[in-house]
Structure 1
Amino acid sequence: MSIFQTWKRRIAYGSTDMAGNIIWQMVSTYLLFYYTTVAGISAAFAGMLFFVVRFIDAFDALIYGYLIDHTHTKYGQSRPYFVWFGIPLGLLAMSLFMIPSFGGNTTMRLVYISITYTFFSLIYSGANTPITSILPSLTDDSVERTKLASARMVMTTIGTSAVAAITLPMVKLLGKGNQSKGFTLWAIILGLVIMGLFIFAFLNLKETNGAQNPDGTTESAESLSIWQSLKGAASNKPWLLLACSFILLQTFWMLRGNSAIFFIKYVYGRPELAPIFLGIGFVSVIGNLSVPFLSQRFKNRNVLQFSLVLGVIGQLLLPIAEKMRSVGLLIAGSVIFLIAMGITFTIVFAMLSDTVDYSTKVLGLNETGFLSAVPMIGAKLGMGIGGFLAGQFLAWGQFNAKAAVQSGRTITFINLAFIWMPIILLAAMIFMMQFYRLDEKELHANKADAAAKVEPKEDVEYDANN
């Protein structure tokens, strides 16, 4: 494969997650504001809707994963889903920010919001689950997989940073003073971009790491039932550890993200720094780009643990910065943390592909889609749990939205939500990874034996010197 083709594949793969995260950023950052401030929907209804829907569809990714495992077309197993679900996702993204008046009928507006948000969440899983499941099928080269995962996270960071930075200016420009019109037009633009990115990925990705039938459809291995898929996943110890880690990772990420504005405004007492403090997420690209270098020199588990420790160090600098009233230290701690998370979110996807290979080559089970569903489950459970905890910490701290200065109790609970609980969850992940002993380098070195179904080898999964 030429350099041009290699980079085209990386960009095409990265465009899938850029598409998904453009709307994810828009929804997680601005949908509540749009519902309450622009559309006049009560915050209580919106919050309950987010919470209920997030748990209703938390496990739909497993269903999509199962469907992917049983999909066999001339375009592959995962690739068709970028069109089947990417186009509806773009249309639903538009519908979220264009609520009809229904002649002033509030009940109909609430029904419309509930239906569109629920379908958006369900379709979002269908469009994003194949992003992870297709990676093992794009190449059998573990180094190239890591580079593909890095390209994915770099493009995701570019997309989310752009949406965070320009949404409000674009709403103002397009709406010309009418926020409702501005949000609607901006959502239409983003919806078209999302559809375009998914179509671009569909046209430029090819599942090459697998056999094909004469008619061009992917070769169908023995189909596994839901029970067999669950049993196989339960026997895949490295995957189980990653699955638990994904939930912890997304929980602390959402908890910290929802608490950030409260920390900078009420704990640090410098609300004017919020645009800088919240807008430096682009530095995580440094972490994204460093992963191929690190993974070629160290085991993936060690790279992940290093990034988690680095994240803890960055977090620990924040209370010191608050005590010293040092803006420089505050930014430095945030930059260290974000670079660390750039590494974390990149390497975990490469590790997930390794656990899929372990299932196929060592356990003899082909359940790529099912196993690849875990990031979506973690994201949705994390959003539900993390968002819920963020609100609860404010409630436990007796937060008063009308008070310019919060009580000592409130400050304590904001610090718990933004600094200390994330540190605890990061430490839990570090501890869990001590039990992750899958050696991806040895696994891929033995890929010549992949055709034979063998019993799990102690020296493949577990290494006393790991």
Structure 2
Amino acid sequence: MTWSKWKQRIFYGATDMGGNLIWQMVGLYLLFYYTTVLNISAAFVGTLFLVVRFIDAFDGMFFGYLIDHTKSKYGKSRPYFLWFGVPLGILAMLLFINPSFGGNELFQKIWISVVYTLFSLVYSGANTPITAILPSLTKNKEESANLASARMVMTNIGTTVIAAITLPIINMLGGQNSETAWMIWGIIIGSVIMLLFFSAFINLREQPLEESENEADQIEGHLSIKESFKGAFKNRPWVILSVSLILIQTFWVTRMSATVFYVTYVYDAKKVFSLLMAFTITSVIGNLLVPILAKKFNNRSIMTGILIAFIIGQVISPLGINSGNVTWLFIGNIISMITMGGVFTLSFVMIADTVEYSRVVQKIEEPGFLSSIPMVGAKIGMGVGGAVSGWVLAWGGFSSSATVQSAKALSAISINFIWIPVLLSIVVITMMRFYNLDEKQLSVEDNDKAEANGLKDASIEEV
């Protein structure tokens, strides 16, 4: 293994590590921070999360379109790591810098609404190119899986650190209810984010597409937005995967937002929260398993099996509530983390497959636009998942000032943490039945071979 390959994997992973440092903070702690530190109502926060998603839900496609039409000496995707990575770090800081405005609650709500909206828009600009650049980094299928795996390994190392040490550091800096403590930690995280994206911009290189003159003449690129949408929605595997990713992101954000509430109030085990979050690192096992499983099974079967295992982990988690035994919580959480590590790694591989399907079969080259769907899913999932979390808590009558929560409030927390993820996982498993793209038939180097294996423009067989 050459250093150049390891270098590429490390700095490719650095991009998603940077994005997910703040993603983890937002997913795990922003609802908690707004409701318990700033004392803003859960209903308002939930509504804010959803409204912002209506504002920017599809901006990932816009950024994907811009990437496809970008011409620079640095490539198509790579410049965006600089143009948006640094502003993302600044906005990550501002999420946790909240002036009191002399106690004026209206001004404070306006401030957090503006900052959160800007953060969400810039987040898309920094993260859409992470998936879009993958087909340009290598044309080797195995290396593509290795890059996706490296990406998720580094992502999960970063998110594990955030999950495990955030509350201990906050307590060390002044306590969970200290705005100053959260502000200092936000500034540190924002600085690291800027460093990671800048390092990726400096070290990654995009490879030009290698294609025959005849193939180059046949492949369409630089399409209009209308043509891009038309081509995308004719790509049936892409459509099915897109909807699946939106559902996956929705239930994962719902679960993440509910974790601190579930451990603190349902299990009444606040002291073990940081230790539980430290086991987020086990998701790396799922990252590493994907390239191994991909050699023996098709991606659809792997996704289905992983989600079934995830459901098992979810169902196991509440078994120790009555006895106060947190062992079941840890076991269930570890299973869920491992499986979701696999789910997200596999998702990026499958998106790359649908991009290749578009190029090989449909003769359309729009990697930025098609690769933007994980960001669309992340945004919609962040909004819907965050909104549902806030609304369900409000329905349950959750009160941050109450020492003991009501039975209805505890049920609401359990719905967010356990049952919404289980239900949506079942829906995704059902949808995978209709995803019949066989990635092993795709060949970037030999379009004729792909056609000889039975791929046609409408080659996805009816189920």
Matched position secondary structure for 1:127: helix
1:447 pairs with one of 434, 442, 445: 445
| 2:404 alignment counterpart | 404
**Structure-2 change in CA distance of 1:262 and 1:169 (3 Å):** closer
Residue 318 of structure 1: how far off its partner (Å): 2.6
Partners of 1:392 and 1:44 lie apart in 2 by: 6
Q: Which residue is equivalent to 1:258?
A: 257
Which residues of 2 match residues 123-138 of structure 1 at below 5 A?
A: 123-138=122-137
Q: Residue 59 of structure 1 aligns with which residue?
A: 58
Q: What are the residue-to-residue correspondences of 1:219-238 with 2, within 5 Å?
A: 222-238=221-237
SS in 1 for 2:436: coil
1:365 and 2:372 correspond: no
1:204 partner amino acid: N
Alpha-carbon spacing, 1:169–1:140, altered in 2? closer, same or farther (3 Å): same
Task: Give the aligned residue type for 1:117.
Answer: Y
Instruction: State the distance in 1 between where 2:452 and 2:441 align.
Output: 15
Q: Secondary structure at the match of 2:92?
A: helix
Q: Does the aligned pair in 1 maintain the 2:164–2:275 contact within 8 Å?
A: no
Aligned to 1:216: none
- Alignment RMSD (CA, Å): 3.1
Question: Which aligned pairs between 1:24-423 and structure 2 lie closer than 5 A?
Answer: 24-35=23-34, 38=37, 45-100=44-99, 108-171=107-170, 173=172, 179-210=178-209, 222-322=221-321, 326-399=325-398, 402=402, 404=404, 406-407=406-407, 409-423=408-422
C-alpha contact (below 8 Å) 1:16/1:201 kept by paired residues: yes
Q: What letter matches 1:425 in structure 2?
A: L
Instruction: Determine the structure 1 residue equivalent to 2:214.
Output: none
Q: Is the 8 A contact 2:262 2:414 kept in 1?
A: yes
More displaced, 256-265 or 372-381?
256-265
- Paired with 1:173 and 1:271, the residues of 2 have a C-alpha distance of 16
CA gap of 1:461–1:282, structure 2 versus 1, over 3 A, is farther
Per the TM alignment, residue 105 of structure 1 is displaced from its structure 2 partner at its CA by 6.0
Aligned partner of residue 297 in structure 1, secondary structure:
coil
Offset at residue 204 of structure 1 (A): 1.4
1:458 deviates by 5.1
Structure 1 pair 412–232 and aligned structure 2 pair: CA distance change class (3 A): same
State whether residues 351 and 371 of structure 2, in contact with CA within 8 Å, keep that contact through their aligned partners in structure 1.
yes
Q: 1:170 to 1:315 in 2, by over 3 A?
A: closer
Could you tell me whether the CA contact under 8 Å between 1:363 and 1:456 is conserved in 2?
A: no
Residues 364 and 454 in structure 1, CA contact (< 8 A), matched pair in contact too: no
Separation of aligned partners in 2, 1:66 and 1:123:
15
Relative to structure 2, which stretch is displaced further, 4-13 or 53-62? 53-62
Query: What do the CA deviations read for 1:19-48 (whole angstroms, capped 9, x no partner)?
Result: 001112223333445445555656555444
Distance 1:89 1:281 in 2: 24
Aligned-partner residue type, residue 133 of structure 1: A
- Identity between Structure 1 and Structure 2 (%): 50
* C-alpha distance 453-47 of structure 1, shift in aligned 2 (>3 A): same
Is the contact between residue 437 and residue 461 of structure 1 (CA under 8 Å) also seen in structure 2? no
What per-residue deviation string (whole Å, max 9, x for no partner) do you get for residues 308-345 of structure 1? 11111212223444466543333222211211111111
Q: CA deviation at 1:385?
A: 1.5
> Post-superposition shift, 1:194?
1.0
- Cα distance, 1:400 vs. partner? 5.7
Distance (Å, rounded) in 1 between the aligned partners of 2:413 and 2:93: 34
Give, in whole Å, the separation in 1 of the partners of 2:144 and 2:281.
22
**CA–CA separation in structure 1 for the residues paired with 2:394 and 2:286:** 35
Instruction: Give the CA deviation at 1:437.
Output: 1.1
Secondary structure, in 3 states, of the residue corresponding to 2:295? helix
How far apart are the structure 1 equivalents of 2:341 and 2:429?
Answer: 16
Tell me, in whole angstroms, the C-alpha distance in 2 between the residues paired with 1:169 and 1:32: 18
- Aligned residues of 2:145 and 2:291 also touching (Cα < 8 A): yes
- Give how far 1:196 is off: 1.2
Structure 1 residues not aligned, in runs of 5+: 213-219
* Aligned residue number for residue 16 of structure 1: 15
| 1:302 to 1:33, Cα distance in 2 relative to 1, 3 A | closer
Q: Give me the TM-score of the superposition, normalised by structure 1.
A: 0.88
What 5-or-longer segments of structure 2 have no aligned partner? 212-218
SS at match of 2:191: helix
SS at match of 1:363: coil
Moved more, 201-210 or 96-105: 96-105
Give the letter aligned to residue 328 of structure 1: T
Q: Supply the AA of the counterpart residue of 1:27.
A: V
Counterpart residue identity of residue 447, structure 1:
E
Deviations 1:86-134 (A, max 9, x none): 1111122222333345566665544433332221111111000000111
Residues 246-275 of structure 1, C-alpha deviations (whole Å, 9 max, x = no match): 111011112222333443344444444433
Q: CA deviation at 1:138?
A: 0.7
Distance 1:295 1:235 in 2: 26
Aligned to 1:432: 431
